[in-house]
Amino acid sequence: MLIRCLCGFHWHRPIQARANSPMVCSGCCSVFRRDDLMAFGGFPERTIVEDMDYTWSQQIAGRRAVYVSDAVALAADPEDLTYLRKQVWRWMAGFCQNVRLHLGRLVVHKPLLAVWVLLALLEILTAPLWWATPFVITATTDQPPALAFLWWAGAELLLTTPPLIYAARRRKLPLTGVLLNIPCVYATKAVNLVYAWKALIVELLLVPLHLSRGLTVYEKGRADTRPGPAVTATA
């Protein structure tokens, strides 16, 4: 989660902000103009991620979103795989619901935001090919599996490390600790990939064909309360 947040908040979002096209103003760490929100009818309930729906709707309408990289917001991350799966499934399903709802108008009224959205879809579609690259190299060339994996891992580090170093400097975090967390990001990536593909199939294929209702029940990515010690009641 640390790596994902560092890359997201200090790499992806600043780039999107420079292009005046932020992908989402997260509901848990954003400030909204009350008059505009009330005029819109409050946060919409037509998708499972209302903050992304509102962000896209307002940008389509000509409003502007501003990202403040120095702001600090404390959020609760999932504590185990069960809640991580719930959170990621909600995010991915909600993203695809918004693609289904808004993409046409984004292309017309907010083309740069449409570019980010299409790039995100392309990344989901091509991710399995990238993960399979070492096996493809081994199967189609005379490179030994270990060397093919080293080439792949080197390319991964080349793409991943510079943004992390920059983000760690910005947040004044110990660089060694951040870099030691890199292997952990692949467990999160695996979960993301599974639920991103599930969202593509369910929300962008089965729902338009009226074969599924899609995700309609909001599930939190964390427990409401921590489990405490058992209490025995006696009469």
pLDDT tens digits for range 113-168: 999 999 999 999 999 999 999 999 999 988 899 999 999 999 988 888 888 887 78
> Is the per-residue pLDDT at 170 higher than 90?
no
The reported pLDDT for the residue numbered 234 is: 36
The reported pLDDT for the residue numbered 193 is: 94
> Is the per-residue pLDDT at 1 higher than 80?
no
Of 89-98, 130-139, 176-185, 225-234, the least confident: 225-234
Average pLDDT of the segment spanning 215-230 = 68
DSSP calls for the chain: -HHHHHHIIIIIHHHHHHTT--S---GGG----HHHHHHHTSS--SSS-HHHHHHHHHHHTT------TT-----PPP-SHHHHHHHHHHHHHHHHHHHHHHHHHHHHH-HHHHHHHHHHHHHHHHHHHHHTHHHHHHHHSS--HHHHHHHHHHHHHHHHHHHHHHHHHHHT--HHHHHHTGGGHHHHHHHHHHHHHHHHHIIIIITTTTS-----S---SS-SS----------
> Is the per-residue pLDDT at 99 higher than 70?
yes
The reported pLDDT for the residue numbered 35 is: 93
> Is the per-residue pLDDT at 232 higher than 50?
no
Give the whole-number percent of the chain exceeding pLDDT 90: 51
The reported pLDDT for the residue numbered 154 is: 92
Average pLDDT of the segment spanning 188-209 = 95
Query: 156 vs 124, 134, 160, 185, 190, CA distance in Å?
Result: 16, 12, 6, 12, 15
Q: Which pTM does this prediction carry? A: 0.86
pLDDT one-digit tens code per residue, 6-63: 666 767 788 888 888 889 888 878 889 999 999 999 999 999 999 999 999 999 999 9
The reported pLDDT for the residue numbered 230 is: 40
